[in-house]
């Protein structure tokens, strides 16, 4: 697990190996790390094997009441960052939060293959007997205004790996 697929062209293999290096590169403050963060590289959390699940967990929090769930975005969002460049930036769970949850790092292996599935094929599953789920239709960061089937994230709220990676970098390392 974690190795490139058999049969890749030289260019595809080079892109795979390049991606492994980027994925495992430790960011510094000069690279954009912080001021608050969980780990210094993608590979710090997704590491069993590189790109797979990890033994890390993150803390999510929010406010649940009769009106629904609030992610407390006005207080920085629902993800607790456990590290900081400066001790003055260290986060804590706000007192307004009444729900917390530990989530284990999910694996990323094979996500490129998942992204390669055509939206139409995923949408066709909605009418398959015995399937009761519905596709989550969302926009990608890199293609605003274009609806796509969500396929990544805890609730399929992200349609592409580029958007997923940008969001993870922002939430976990910046």
Answer for the pair 167, 158: CB distance below 8 angstroms, yes or no. yes
pLDDT tens for 115-165 read 999 999 999 988 888 877 889 999 999 999 999 999 998 889 999 999 999
Quote the CA–CA distance of 144 and 60 in Å, as a whole number: 27
Q: Report DSSP state, residue 164.
A: H
Mean pLDDT along residues 3-12? 95
SS3 126: helix
pLDDT for 159: 96
Average pLDDT, rounded, for the chain: 92
């Amino acid at each position: 697990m974690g190795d490139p697929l058999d049969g890749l062209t030289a260019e595809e293999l080079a892109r795979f190996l390049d991606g492994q290096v980027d994925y495992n590169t430790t960011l510094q403050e000069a690279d954009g790390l912080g001021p608050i963060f969980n780990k210094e590289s993608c590979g710090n959390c997704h590491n069993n094997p590189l790109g797979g699940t990890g033994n890390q967990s993150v803390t999510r929090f929010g406010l649940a009441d009769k009106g629904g769930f609030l992610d407390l975005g006005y207080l920085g969002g629902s993800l607790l960052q456990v590290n900081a460049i400066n001790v003055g930036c260290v986060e804590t769970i706000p007192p307004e939060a009444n729900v917390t949850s530990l989530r284990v790092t999910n694996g990323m292996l094979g996500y490129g293959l998942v992204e390669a599935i055509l939206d139409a094929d995923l949408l066709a599953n909605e009418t398959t007997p015995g399937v009761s789920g519905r596709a989550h239709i969302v926009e990608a960061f890199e293609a605003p205004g274009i609806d796509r089937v969500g396929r990544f994230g805890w609730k399929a709220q992200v349609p592409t790996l580029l958007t997923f990676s940008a969001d993870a970098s922002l939430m976990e390392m910046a």
